[in-house]
A and B are shown apart, each in its own frame.
Chain A
Amino acid sequence: MNRTINLAAALLFALAAPAMAQDIKVGTIFPLSGGAGPDGQTVTNAVKLVVDQINVKGGLLGRKLVVVSKDDESTPAVGVSRANEMIAEKADVVIEGWNSPVTLAMQPILARDGVLDITAVSKSDLILAGETNPYAIRINSSNGFDAAVIAKYVVGTLKAKKVAFLTQNDVYGNGFQTAVEAEFKKLNFSGEIVTTEKFAFKDTDFRVQLTNLKTANPDAIIVTNSSNSSGLPAMVEQYRQADVKSAFVGAVGIMLTTVFKVAGEANNGIVSADIYFWDLPPFNGIAESNAFAAAFKKAYGADPDKSAALGAAAVQVWASAVEATKSLDRKTVAEAIRGKTIKGTVFGDATFLPNGQLQPRYVVFKVVDGKNAKLEALPQN
């Protein structure tokens, strides 16, 4: 009896051993259920796609890559459990993060056990502060860069003299406004900030604020609103109804598909910026981006959005660093990314700051046809 068991165990081990010794594990932790589920699935799909592409080319360090994907349910407590599971399954890298609180909760867990951790989307500044993870890496843009591009557009391109803020009253909205004001100082902005109107994340009625803004009549209104499925479309509609003449300048990354779907043509003329559009320059001139967009459409039947590009870039950056250093060690790989430039990603040449932040390239755009989500890239000077 015992011998049979031993034999069976040995057989199992022999079968499992080559796979265990060779495969490199790429872990992903994103929300796969609930409200943010579709977004998390997009990032995960992009990761899987790029991993498949690497495997087709013969893998990494001569070894095959496998993806282990987990659902953080947008809940920090669940994310922590998933991070612990990644440690137990000996993931060689974990690509994670849609919500900042979930990322912030997982970071110390992964860092304590020496797992390389790449944050794809979460935007909080604390992620790169180094207190929880000294080897943090983030692909999505930071609020500081976002504020700079918006400030530059308003002051440089629009040459606005009177500016107003329509700000979401929380860390995101207020933080963004503070950062834009700091950028104004750097640009020696000679005009004035005529008014600041605030609202809560859950608000859907902005008529009072818009009436005040109409009275103040600024050249540009800088808007933060991260409620892209209800609050922002409502705001855009009401902005049109109130017939405000000031330019509506949306903060980076708020004009998403859902806004176009709900508010349609009311979006026409709105200016905003983001860090990836597969069909707009400079990205439609990058070979890797075109190849990725084509493969993504073929595999999933949809155009890749920014979230997909962030997932893809995370894998590409990590794989290049692993290939260059011939190592999977957290510190070695992280040091080959932080403060370095990595070629051949969907973002083109990806340059990282010493703190692990990817230097983003922005597309400032104007909505031409909101109903069909058609955008036009604006020249940046």
Chain B
Amino acid sequence: MSAIEQNHANSKPVQRTAIFIVLAATGFFLPKLLGGTSVAYSTLTTIAIFAVMCYGIDIVLSYLGEVSLGHTLFWAIGGYTAANLSVKYGLNGWSTAFATVALCIVAAGFLGAVTLRTREFVFSLVTYAAAVVGYEIAFNWDAIGGSDGIVGISALKLPFGVATFSGATQEDLWPVALTLLLLTLVFIARFRRSKLGTAALMVQMNPALAASLGIDPRKVRLAVFVLSAPITGLAGWLYAYQRAYVGPDMFETYFLVLMLTAVVLIGRRILIGPLIGTAILIAQQNLLSLGGDWNKIVLGSVLALVLIFWPAGLVGLFRNFGNVGLKAKE
């Protein structure tokens, strides 16, 4: 509902583009504004990459209303594709990115087709099982890295005709991470206004209306699921270059919990929600850390509290306050 309201609220393309450019330029200089230290660059690059990772699961969660527990699979596909193809075959960033997108579409197509008839709990369970299978394969198959993973991933190389971008440090990778984040934001914004986006929302919110309009819910579900995979996959692709090491830990619940919490924390169907959620979570872990066990306790409690008391996320909470304020004025 809120998505549709917002679309009407800012439907001036010129104004929107201008705001976007200003935000992009500010974003580019953000690490400099925060002191230009290596920690500023690495934290912001990590936030950008993790936010893109979250946007993949976001469109499944927000528009299909389903909880995918299998998106770590696509995240790992991105990482493993980048690592294997660049280390073993010396392929450049474009090729590894292209391969990531292709493999994610194939994997999501298969998983989406298998889970087509499943809903809610069963859907979550099957996607989770897929991630477990993926983990076992990655852990035991030495040809793609085995339990030790792959080391020695070289700098990200992106040839542009005559010149070639080459980046290994956090400073170098920041523009790439930011660009990937901005492209993802544009993509998600367009998706929200697209026929598929509205159809998905309709299937979730009002299946009867969708059916009466001749929308095939299974086609919509499959399309959204397949669309979500390369987004998370490309985040994993860049993460491999940022960390220069890929291992089976990419399937860990650390990433899964981060994805789900970042989306739910702020509120579903809010364009910059996952970005802000990721930023809050990473900032807490890096700057206000309470130690491993406490971080997990706090994160788990916050997730539980938000889900129990403010299912609409923190935005829902502020909206409630807003309403109270308005009533008081009246």
Contact = CB atoms under 8 A, between A and B. Distances in A.
Q: Do A and B come from one complex?
A: yes
Interface of A: 31-34, 37, 71, 73, 75-78, 80-81, 84-85, 87-88, 100-101, 104-105, 107-109, 112-113, 124-126, 129, 131-132, 169-172
Contacts of B46: 81
A129 B150 CA distance: 12
Interface in B13-47: 37-39, 42-43, 46
- Interface of A, secondary structure class, is helix
A105 B148 contact: no
A259 to B, nearest CB: 22
B325 interface: no
A71 B296 CA distance: 13
Nearest to A112: B169
Interface residues of B, number: 33
B149 interface: yes
The 5 closest A-B pairs by CB, nearest first: A33-B292, A131-B152, A108-B244, A73-B292, A33-B293
A356 to B, nearest CB: 15
A33 B244 contact: no
A76 B152 contact: no
Contacts of A76: 243, 245, 247, 249
30 contacts: A31-B292, A32-B292, A33-B293, A34-B292, A34-B293, A37-B293, A73-B295, A75-B249, A76-B247, A77-B249, A80-B243, A81-B42, A88-B38, A88-B39, A104-B149, A105-B249, A108-B244, A108-B245, A112-B168, A129-B152, A131-B151, A132-B152, A132-B244, A169-B140, A170-B146, A170-B147, A171-B142, A171-B147, A171-B148, A172-B147
Contacts of B248: 101
- Interface of B, secondary structure class, is helix
Nearest to B239: A77
A37 B291 CA distance: 11
A132 B42 CA distance: 18
Contact of B245 (A75, A105, A169, A170): A105
Contacts of A129: 151-152
Contacts of B168: 112
Contacts of A78: 254, 285, 292
Given A101-B247, A104-B247, A105-B243, A85 B286 contact: yes
Given A105-B249, A113-B38, A171-B147, 14 more contacts: A31-B292, A32-B291, A32-B292, A33-B291, A33-B293, A76-B249, A81-B42, A81-B46, A101-B148, A107-B151, A109-B244, A132-B244, A171-B146, A171-B148
A44 B243 CA distance: 25
